[in-house]
Every structure is written in structure tokens, then in C-alpha cells.
Amino acid sequence: MNIFTTINNVKGMAVAASKLDQLISNQALEQAPMGIVLSDGNQQILWCNPTLGQQLGIAEKKLIGQNTEVLSAHLHPTEQPDIYRVNNQQNIWLKSVKCCIQDEQGQVLNSNYFIDVSETIDLSKQNQDLEAQLADNIPTDKLTGLLNRKSLLNALERQVSRSRRYSNPLSVIIVRLHHWQASHDDSAATINDALTAIAFDLRDQMRWVDLIGRTDDQEFTLILPETASDDASHLAEKIRKRLLDLSHPDKPEMQLKISLKAGVTSWRKGDDIRLLYARALEAAESAEQEENKNIITL
């Protein structure tokens, strides 16, 4: 066999190998488990694979030749970047990944891959539901260790039932953080430092029969059994004065100046938990709106 024959054989093998590579590439794209769209610089769809048609519920041939905007009719954007929900399909979620490629003539093409992330999204939602259920079953606030809103309102309902039965006095104080600052402009101090310090001081002043909880981001509610309205108002004023100059329980070097607004009310004959708590909230909101008053009693 002469050299020319050998060269021709090698060329033939190279051409065959090139055709084989192209065949394999085409089959790989056609059978890819993700949707694929190729478009030109004018956003005209040149090609898409069958998987995309299956994902969108439309024959892929109907997309070829159309503008890529046609895809938006089938894909609903979500709060997560590049994640789309397929319209009319509540449980199908696709992640879009875009890049540019060049064809054999050097033309730049836009390539868009749609990856099915439905299982990942579903697992994430299940985790969120489990976390919510767990939070419902935890009686305390994570930051302060006080009762959370649900637990405190359950406790208040029991106390209201007791007052309705025996006519015992019962008062509620709602305390809201109005303003705070760290002495000497301590830049390391945060709102969580202020809330933690308030919680510690409130807990320190309560009797063993009293209940206290964090019922909103910057709100604390005190339940005071066997306490009349006047006594509850005096306690609210005492708390307000104490917090004007407060040391952080875990950081003694951190001095905090905290101003509060508070609403006070007491159980009245005929009150259920809804009426009592609504009146306490009204008192707290009135105090927040008053410039010259820090505590409102209703």
C-alpha cells in the first residue's frame, strides 16, 4: 500500500469519524432529558428538541420559526430567578440556563436549556411546611426564650375563662419598642440586643404567676392575673423608667437607652379573649400615636 493510499484511507476514516460524531451529537441533543432551544440573533427559534415540547405540552415543530417570546406564553416566572412554572401545570417547574454557541460558519446562536427542577421545588416546599408545623409546636420565641404569640394567647384564654368564672381581676399590658440606642454609639449593638435586653428585664420583674411573651417583632405582651388596672398602669410606668438606662444581660459593657410605648387594659364583665386583647391592642396603638404620652390605659 503506497503513501497516497494510506493518506486517502486516513482522510476517509476522519470523514467517517466526523459524521459519526455529528450523528451522536444530534442523537444526544434529541434525547437529552432537558428541554433545549436554539435561536439566532433575532431571537427566532431555529431548533428545539422533543423534551421541550413534552415539558410545555406542545409539539416542538410548532415552535420552530417563531420568536422566543412565544415561550413566555407557556412559562410563568416565579420569585426565584430563572425558575419558571409551566402554565396550567402546578407541579412542573423548570430552571432556565442560557449560553451562546457558534455553528460551523461562525454564527453565534443562543442556547437555552430548561432543566426540570420540580422534585427539588417540591422537597423545598415540604421542608417549609415541616418547619412551619414545627414552629407551631414550639411554645417559645427563638430569640428571647419568652412565650411566642400562639402560646401566650392560649394562656390568656385560660386566664380569661378563670376571670369569667370567678370574677378575678386580670390585666394585660402590651409593650412596644418605640426607640432605642446604645450608649457611646456602640456600633456593635443591634435591634436583637435591644429586644433581648427588654425580654430579660421584663422577665426579671414578673411574679411567678405572671406570663410574658413576644407577640410581634418589636412587641411584648404581659398577662397579669389578680392585678387591677391601676396596679398594671403603675407597673407599665415602672418598666418604662427602668428601660431608659439598661445594661445588656450578656454584655455588661453595652448600655442601652430604650423608650417604650405601652397599652394597658383589664378584664371587664362580659369580656372574652377577643374583646380583652383587642382593647389592649387599641391602647398600645393609641400610645404610639400620642407624642406626649407613653402609656395609655383603656
In a domain, 18, yes or no: no
What is the rounded CA–CA span in Å between residue 293 and residue 118? 55
Same domain for 109 and 250, yes or no, is: no
116 and 211 share one domain:
no
Domain that includes residue 85, residue range: 32-122
Same domain assignment for residues 168 and 74: no
Does residue 173 share a domain with residue 108?
Answer: no
Q: What is the pLDDT tens value at each position of the chain, 298 positions in all?
A: 443 343 344 344 444 445 545 555 667 778 888 888 888 888 888 888 888 888 888 888 888 888 888 888 888 888 888 888 888 666 888 998 888 887 677 778 888 899 888 888 887 887 777 777 766 666 777 788 888 888 888 889 998 988 888 888 999 998 887 777 666 555 556 777 778 878 888 888 788 888 888 888 888 999 998 888 899 988 888 888 887 766 665 666 666 777 788 889 999 988 899 999 999 999 888 888 887 788 888 8
* Final residue of a structural domain among 67, 90, 122: 122
CATH code for the domain in which residue 65 is found: 3.30.450.20
Domain boundary among 122, 153, 184: 122
**Which of 92, 122, 152 lies at the terminal end of a domain, its last residue?**
122
Element (H, E) at 120: helix 118-137
Q: Are residues 73 and 215 part of one domain?
A: no
User: Is the residue at 12 inside a domain?
Assistant: no
Burial of 52 (0-12, 13-18, 19+ CB in 10 A): buried
Q: Cα separation of 230 and 266, whole Å?
A: 9
Give all strands (DSSP E) within 107-254, no chain letters. Answer: 108-116, 170-182, 211-216, 219-225, 246-247
> Whole-prediction pTM value?
0.56
Closest C-alpha to 276, from 285, 261, 265, 287:
265
Residue type, 121: I
Q: Is residue 188 part of a domain?
A: yes
Residue 129 φ then ψ, to 5° = -65, -40
Residues 78 and 145 in one domain: no
Residues 85 and 197 in one domain: no
Q: Is residue 14 part of a domain?
A: no
Specify the number of domains making up the chain: 2
Q: How far is CA 287 from CA 167, 216, 237, 279, 296, in A?
A: 28, 17, 13, 12, 5
Same domain, yes or no: 177 and 287: yes
Question: In this structure, what CATH number is given to the domain that contains residue 256?
Answer: 3.30.70.270
Do 61 and 169 fall into the same domain?
Answer: no
Strand partners, 225: 170
Question: Whole-angstrom Cα distance, residue 201 to residue 48?
Answer: 66
Q: Are residues 114 and 43 in the same domain?
A: yes
